[in-house]
């Protein structure tokens, strides 16, 4: 299982030129449609668990419990770490079922289940009362700084939001701080100056389309 360490950034008119200047290689451009699922009570997203279907494959992103090392971090390092998110990425469907079921069954036992929707082609969704709460299409241009093991994605979502991501994938249990450092160096090369986290596509989508769900996640400090 891998852990995705990622920093989002605001793209500018110069981003493409800068990527070229720092030696990033374009590895392709593609479009994908994401569908995100949760129960009507938001059992998954309130736990910062993100279940989605992309290009016919299921993926679950969960908070990671990976420790980032015991060494003292400098101010610069801890600021860099605060700008990054880290999530476990699970793509094995039986494992996704188990993890989702563990959360939802727990809540069912506490009497929170609501009426199930019919999802004919995916019976497990109906069984667990999972419904699609967000769907959008993204056009993505991807670059790599191969030697550093860093990927940079420039995303354009169909609801009008543009965002960049600097991403490092590491095996679960490996040093997160090393990935954060690679991301910090790449951000520096790209001339990124902001010290605030940049919103992901989902933040913007939920604020625009599902303000109640958005407010709940904000109150739970998930977004």
Count of residues of this chain found to bind ligand V4E when the rule CB under 6 A is applied: 12
- Nearest residue to 93 (alpha-carbon basis) of 125, 63, 116: 125
Q: State in angstroms the smallest separation of the CB of 117 from ligand V4E.
A: 21
Per-residue binding letters, 21-40, with ligand V4E (x by CB under 6 A):
--------------------
- E-strand spans in 161-207? 162-171
Least separation in angstroms between residue 94's CB and ligand V4E is 20
Region 44-103 residues binding ligand V4E, contact defined as CB under 6 A: 50, 61, 85, 87
What is the C-alpha separation between 76 and 53, in angstroms, rounded? 36
| Span near ligand V4E by CB under 6 A; candidates 15-23, 106-114, 177-185, 195-203 | 195-203
Gap between the Cα atoms of 65 and 88, Å rounded: 9
CA 81 centroid distance within chain:
16
Strand partners, 145: 150
Confirm or reject binding of residue 5 to ligand V4E (CB under 6 A): no
Among positions 117-146, residues that touch ligand V4E (CB under 6 A) are none
Q: Are 83 and 5 in contact (CB under 8 A)?
A: no
| Contact footprint for ligand V4E (CB under 6 A) | 6, 8, 50, 61, 85, 87, 165, 197, 200-202, 223
């Amino acid at each position: 299982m891998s852990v995705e360490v990622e920093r989002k950034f605001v793209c500018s008119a110069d981003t493409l030129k800068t990527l070229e200047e720092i030696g990033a290689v374009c590895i392709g451009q593609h479009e994908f449609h994401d569908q995100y699922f949760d129960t009507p009570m938001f059992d998954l997203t309130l736990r910062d668990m993100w279940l989605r279907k992309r290009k016919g494959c299921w993926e679950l992103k969960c908070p990671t419990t990976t420790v980032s090392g015991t060494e003292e971090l400098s101010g610069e390092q801890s600021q860099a770490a605060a700008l990054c998110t880290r999530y476990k990425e699970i793509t094995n469907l039986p494992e996704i079922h188990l993890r989702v079921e563990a959360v939802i069954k727990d809540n069912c036992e506490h009497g929170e289940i609501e009426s199930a929707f019919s999802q004919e082609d995916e019976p497990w969704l109906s069984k667990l009362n999972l419904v699609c709460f967000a769907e959008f299409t993204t056009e993505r241009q991807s670059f790599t700084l191969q030697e550093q093991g860093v990927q940079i994605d420039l995303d354009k979502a169909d609801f009008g939001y543009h965002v960049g991501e600097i991403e490092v994938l590491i095996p679960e249990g490996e040093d997160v701080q090393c990935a954060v450092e690679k991301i910090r160096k790449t951000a520096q090369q790209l001339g990124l100056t902001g010290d605030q986290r940049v919103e992901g596509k989902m933040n913007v989508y939920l604020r625009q389309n599902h303000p109640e769900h958005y407010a709940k996640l904000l109150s739970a400090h998930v977004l």
